[in-house]
Amino acid sequence: MRETTIALCFVLLLFSFPTISNAKDNKEPDLVSEAAFLLDSDTGAVLFEKNGYKKMYPASLTKIATAIYAIEKGNMDDVITVSENAYATEGTRVYLEQGEQVTLKHLLDGMLINSGNDAAVAIAEYLDGSISNFERNINQFLNEKVNVHSTHFKNPSGLYHKDHYTTANDLAVITQYAMQNETFRQIFGTSELKWDGLSWDTTLVSHHQMVNGSRPYDKVTGGKTGFVNESKQTLATTAENEELNLVAIVLKGNFKRDVYKDTKDLLDYGFNQYTHKVIPAGKSYFVNGLTYETTKEEKITIPRSKGEEEITSSGLLMIEDDNGDILQSIQLAKVMPAEETFKVDTSDQVVREEEKSSFPAIVLIIPIALCFVFYMKRRTIRR
């Protein structure tokens, strides 16, 4: 009896361990920063958000938008003459001199790697002639080209202004968009670069500690830091493994250690909990007597544990996580029922087929009727 009880307890403990482990693994990160967003860059799936749609001050994360705008609009080999306005810009600098001539590519290096505000202003003036023109044009670019709608930038660097704002969600989408560009990806992931300036020769080292290696994270592919008093610490990070490409945005952390820990927790959560699945083109879904299908091959993000696929009556396929939160959605195409298509497209043929099919039936009925009459007559004669 004693041996049976011990064995039973052992079995119960054995089965309880996976449950405890899964509960721990599935736990969402507990962040201290005020806002955060984790995006699957490949599919656009929202893997985590905390105050992700709240208006925030981005500080130098603004330079991600300035960079991709400049890359798309400008010429990397163009030589730019540094203005007095750019030279006098406050905050972090690459110590450009008034009248110094620098290529757009080199200014982008100084702006993204060393967060040079002077380089950002020189770029904006080159692109649009003035900061006021830049303000109008970059906001139009972000709205129409990048498709973000909760962002308004007053300047190219991220220096505080009450009307210079964005959201963690918008920053994730801007970074996702920028990472599609090879030039941006290369600069964004550079850990250090020799800088030969008119008055300053040095080696620029990325301010992002996961990129420069002082806080190692082997999956990181790029990043940008930011700080002004009003925004506190801000951090944008991209990372990838064999399956996923992630964008992590963390805003308004009190200390650097906070935003880096929050970023690590976000990335660990994304890589540990999610993977990809491919839905083939032409896969059918049925709801309320209607049929919908995928028009092309679709890559979706799914939880490694469970999760659900739900479809609305309008054919919107929603992929949900373990908590029922929507990761992403795909609009499916409605498929007309086969019989409806047949009646609309080949109605004349249907009539003709019915007419042709009635002829053989008559031919068969007549001989049968004649045989029956003949048989009845013979019975009468015999009587």
CA distances from 286 to 190, 315, 332, 341, 349 (A): 49, 9, 11, 18, 30
The answer to whether the Cα torsion of 240, 173, 167, 301 is positive or negative is negative
Residues 217-246 have a mean pLDDT of: 97
Residues 26-55 have a mean pLDDT of: 95
Helix (H, G, I), strand (E, B) or coil at 320: strand
The pLDDT of residue 377 is above 80: no
Instruction: Tally the domains of the chain.
Output: 2
* pLDDT for res 325: 84
CATH number of the domain residue 121 falls in:
3.40.710.10
Q: Which residue has the higher pLDDT, 270 or 322?
A: 270
Indicate if 42 and 166 belong to the same structural domain: yes
Burial of residue 32, with CB atoms counted within 10 A of its CB: 0-12 exposed, 13-18 middle, 19 or more buried: middle
* pLDDT for res 268: 98
Indicate if 263 and 293 belong to the same structural domain: no
Indicate if 297 and 257 belong to the same structural domain: no
Looking at 251, 275, 299, the residue that finishes a domain is 275
Q: Does the annotation mark 63 as catalytic?
A: yes
Question: The domain containing residue 313 runs over which residues?
Answer: 280-335
Indicate if 110 and 246 belong to the same structural domain: yes
- Percent of the chain topping pLDDT 70: 81
Residue 140 is inside which H or E element, if any?
A: helix 131-141
Residue with tokens 């939160």, as numbered in its chain: 325
Confidence of residue 343 (pLDDT cuts 50, 70, 90): very low
The answer to whether the Cα torsion of 217, 219, 224, 226 is positive or negative is negative
Return the minimum-mean-pLDDT range out of 255-259, 316-320, 379-383.
379-383
- Give Rg (Cα) of the chain: 33
Which of 60, 157, 206, 231 is catalytic? The answer is 60
Residues 80-106 have a mean pLDDT of: 96
Which of 33, 41, 50, 115 is catalytic? The answer is 115
Closest CA to 270 of 31, 113, 46: 46
* pLDDT for res 371: 52
Looking at 275, 299, 319, the residue that finishes a domain is 275
The answer to whether the Cα torsion of 285, 290, 291, 294 is positive or negative is negative
The pLDDT of residue 176 is above 50: yes
Closest CA to 55 of 219, 214, 212, 166: 166
Confidence of residue 17 (pLDDT cuts 50, 70, 90): very low
Which of 33, 41, 50, 63 is catalytic? The answer is 63
Per the domain annotation, does 85 fall within a domain?
Answer: yes
Residues 313-338 have a mean pLDDT of: 84
Q: What is the 3-state secondary structure (H, E, C) of 213-253?
A: CCCCCCCEEEEEEEEECCCEEEEEEEEECCCCEEEEEEEEE
What phi, psi does 54 have (nearest 5°)? -85, 140
Q: Which residue has the higher pLDDT, 380 or 172?
A: 172
pTM: 0.81
The pLDDT of residue 60 is above 70: yes
* pLDDT for res 192: 96
The pLDDT of residue 111 is above 80: yes
Tokens of 363: 């031919």
Mean pLDDT estimate for the chain? 85
Instruction: Answer yes or no: are the C-beta atoms of 94 and 195 closer than 8 Å.
Output: yes
Looking at 275, 293, 314, the residue that finishes a domain is 275
Indicate if 267 and 331 belong to the same structural domain: no
Per the domain annotation, does 368 fall within a domain?
Answer: no
The pLDDT of residue 16 is above 50: no
Distance from C-alpha of 49 to C-alpha of 9, rounded to nearest angstrom: 41
The 3-state DSSP composition of the chain as helix, strand, coil percent (nearest 5) reads: 45, 25, 30
Helix (H, G, I), strand (E, B) or coil at 212: helix
* pLDDT for res 338: 52
Written as one string, the DSSP assignment of 102-135 is EEHHHHHHHHHHS--HHHHHHHHHHHHSSHHHHH
The pLDDT of residue 321 is above 50: yes
* pLDDT for res 363: 47
| pLDDT tens digits for range 149-159 | 999 999 999 99
Per the domain annotation, does 4 fall within a domain?
Answer: no
Instruction: Answer yes or no: are the C-beta atoms of 64 and 171 closer than 8 Å.
Output: yes
Indicate if 66 and 107 belong to the same structural domain: yes
Indicate if 151 and 217 belong to the same structural domain: yes
Q: Does the annotation mark 115 as catalytic?
A: yes
Per the domain annotation, does 267 fall within a domain?
Answer: yes
Distance from C-alpha of 70 to C-alpha of 330, rounded to nearest angstrom: 32
